[in-house]
Structure formats: structure tokens, C-alpha cells
Amino acid sequence: MSMQTGLATSTTQLRTYAPSTDVSVAAPAPRLEIARGRSTAARQNPRTEPGPIRFVIIALAVTFLSVFVVLPLVVVFASAFSKGVGAYFAALAEPEALAAIKLTLLVAAVSVTLNLVFGVVAAWAISKFEFTGKTFLITLIDLPFSVSPVISGLVFVLLFGAQGYFGPWLQAHNIHILFAVPGIALATIFVTFPFVARALIPLMQEQGTQEEEAAISLGASGLQTFFRVTLPNIKWGLLYGVLLCNARAMGEFGAVSVVSGHIRGETNTMPLLVEILYNEYQFVASFAIASLLAMLALITLVVKTVLERRLDETEVPDGD
């Protein structure tokens, strides 16, 4: 996911260095010429494959996608509704299911909010200031992506577990982190930390500090500069990061599984409940919850596409 984000932004970055769009000066005539040039180039493009080969390649891609992406998605919904709509909604209305949905929403809300703040601060520090250890910090931000989620969960067990570093102290003060909501939130925050920062760093680096300097020289305070200049410039990138962060926070399984303790009705998030129900042969209930997560994925996909389009628009060069 993060790789995608990086690639997308770097291509737009390249575009920024293209000659400025001198709308009022550019006459329509040269544009037409360009368009004509393009169409002849397409006709004579040496890389254009003959029809049958093109067909085979496209068919392969479509088949692959159908088998590995569309089919599972269809199966999820088919299984969820296999005993009818009534059974589907009854499964979702189970207290355990409701508790899992509530917990998932709570954990997502907490971790997305905190990562929003952390992400903006980290991206701000990296893109607007020069300091030693900057590359190290960038690498560190990526750490949660390169570590297996199970390890991420284990880290918190090692820290806060009964045998962990802070375990005895926490027990003495009757503070519950592991096998409770705080532990789940911590693990989720750790795993989803990079999304917002990763979405913002290339964007903010590309935008530089000139607009902020201009705002300050016009008499704006630090806060005014942030809310009136910086934030509007990064808002689409920020929403993009938040969206991906949210999708991962709600869908996270590995890290949460390690710290959750699987207490029914208390520390089971939706992905955990899906597994438990499945293992107990409650297929309709299991797939009903799974269908919610699948819908989240579909909504995320649509919003992501819209946001990417907006991001592209805001990054259209405005000069130099």
C-alpha cells in the first residue's frame, strides 16, 4: 500500500517540473498540434502488439483477477446470505457481534485520531526542517510495514505482559493494558502508524516551505499559517492517509490477535470474531461479519479512487 502511495506521488512530482501552464498565453494552435502528434505516434507506436496477443494478455489479467479477487468476494456475500436475509441480520444482532463491531469502531477511532496527529507532526518535521538523523527517522516510520504484525503484537506482550518489563508494576497498580482495550489500541496504532506520515511526506516535501514563509512574512502566526496555508494544501493527502489507516485499523488481525486475549464480548474485534465463529462452524455468522469488512474494503476503494483524483488535481503545478 505504502509503495503505491509513494509511486503515485512521485509521478505527480515529476509532472510538477513540466513547463508551467501559461493558460492565458498558450494559444490553442500548438495544443492542436500536440494532439495530432500524439495520435500519429499512437498509430505508429512500435510497442503496440498485434490483436490476438493483446487479447490473450487482457484475458489472462481478467481471469486472474476474477479468480483471486472477485470470486472470494462473491463467496463471502453468498455464504453470508446462504440462509436468507433474516439469518444474516440475526447474526449481526448477536450481542457478541455488536460488541465486536463497537470495539472495532472504538479502536479505529482512537488509533486513526492519534495517527493523524503523529503523522502530521512527523511529516511536518521531516519535510520542513533539516536535522541530523532525518533519514533514520524516515526509515523508522516504515518499520511497522516491514515487521510481521505478530511480532508487533508480541512486542507489547513483552512490554506489558505479566512477565514483561512493566508487567509487575502495572499489576501492582491494577492497570490493564494487555488483554484489554488499551493493548488492542496500542497494537493497532503501531501497525497503522506509517499510513498518514507516508501519504504526507512526499506531498509536503514537494510543496516546500515557500507558501509558509510567504504567510509568515504577511504577518500570520504559526497556527494561522498551519490552518490557513499548510492544512488546505495537504487536506486530500491527509484524507487519503486517514482512509488507508482506517481500513487497516479495522481489518488488523495478527497484532491484535496476540494482545487481545480473545475474551468473548469484550476483547474480540471483528476480524478476530470472524475466525472464532468460523472455527465453531457458525458459517453464516462468520461470513456476515466478514461481509461487513468486505463492504468496508469496497467503500475504501471507491473513496480512495476519488481522493486520488482530487490529489492529482491539487498537485497540478501552480508555477515556476
Partner 1 sequence: MAIEVKNIVKKFGSFAALDNVDLKVADGELLALLGPSGSGKTTLLRIIAGLDWPDSGEVAIDGENALTRGASERQVGFVFQHYALFRHMTVFENVAFGLRVQPRAIRKDEATIRARVKELLDLVQLDWLSNRYPSQLSGGQRQRIALARALAIEPRILLLDEPFGALDAKVRKELRQWLRSLHNEIHVTSIFVTHDQEEALEVANRVVVMDKGKIEQIGTPGEVYDNPATAFVHGFIGESIVLPVDVSGDAVRLDGRPLNIAAHGAASGAAKLFVRRHDMAIGPAGSGALDGAIRHVRSFGPIQRAEVALSGREGSTVIEIDAPRDRELQAGEIVSLQPRRYRIFATQD
| Site residues (vs partner 1, CB under 8 A) | 20-25, 210-211, 213-221, 224, 228-229, 232-233, 314, 316-320
Amino acid identity for residue 102 in this structure = K
Comparison of 13 and 314: residue with beta carbon closer to partner 1 = 314
Positive or negative, the CA dihedral 131, 133, 135, 138 is negative
Comparison of 25 and 35: residue with beta carbon closer to partner 1 = 25
Separation CA 66–CA 165 (nearest Å): 48
Comparison of 30 and 51: residue with beta carbon closer to partner 1 = 30
**Smallest separation, CB 224 to partner 1 (Å):** 5
In this structure, what C-alpha cell is assigned to residue 296? Answer: 468496508
**Smallest separation, CB 29 to partner 1 (Å):** 17
Comparison of 140 and 214: residue with beta carbon closer to partner 1 = 214
Comparison of 24 and 146: residue with beta carbon closer to partner 1 = 24
In this structure, what C-alpha cell is assigned to residue 108? Answer: 479505529
Three-class secondary structure of residue 9 per DSSP: helix
Task: Answer for the pair 177, 186: CB distance below 8 angstroms, yes or no.
Answer: yes
**Smallest separation, CB 131 to partner 1 (Å):** 14
Comparison of 44 and 132: residue with beta carbon closer to partner 1 = 132
**Smallest separation, CB 135 to partner 1 (Å):** 18
Task: Answer for the pair 195, 2: CB distance below 8 angstroms, yes or no.
Answer: yes
Separation CA 283–CA 290 (nearest Å): 10
R_g of the chain, CA atoms, integer Å: 25
Comparison of 25 and 34: residue with beta carbon closer to partner 1 = 25
Q: Helices in the chain by DSSP H: which ranges? A: 2-16, 28-44, 51-65, 71-80, 85-93, 95-128, 134-146, 149-160, 167-172, 181-192, 194-207, 210-217, 222-225, 231-251, 254-260, 270-279, 283-314
Question: What would the DSSP string read from start to end of 165-193?
Answer: SSHHHHHHTT---TTSHHHHHHHHHHHHT
**Smallest separation, CB 313 to partner 1 (Å):** 10
Comparison of 216 and 306: residue with beta carbon closer to partner 1 = 216
For residue 200, give the nearest of 121, 134, 135, 130 by alpha carbon: 121
In this structure, what C-alpha cell is assigned to residue 308? Answer: 486520488
**Smallest separation, CB 239 to partner 1 (Å):** 14
**Smallest separation, CB 281 to partner 1 (Å):** 55
Separation CA 191–CA 184 (nearest Å): 11
**Smallest separation, CB 221 to partner 1 (Å):** 6
Dihedral, 272, 275, 279, 285 alpha carbons, nearest 10:
100
Comparison of 28 and 46: residue with beta carbon closer to partner 1 = 28
**Smallest separation, CB 133 to partner 1 (Å):** 17
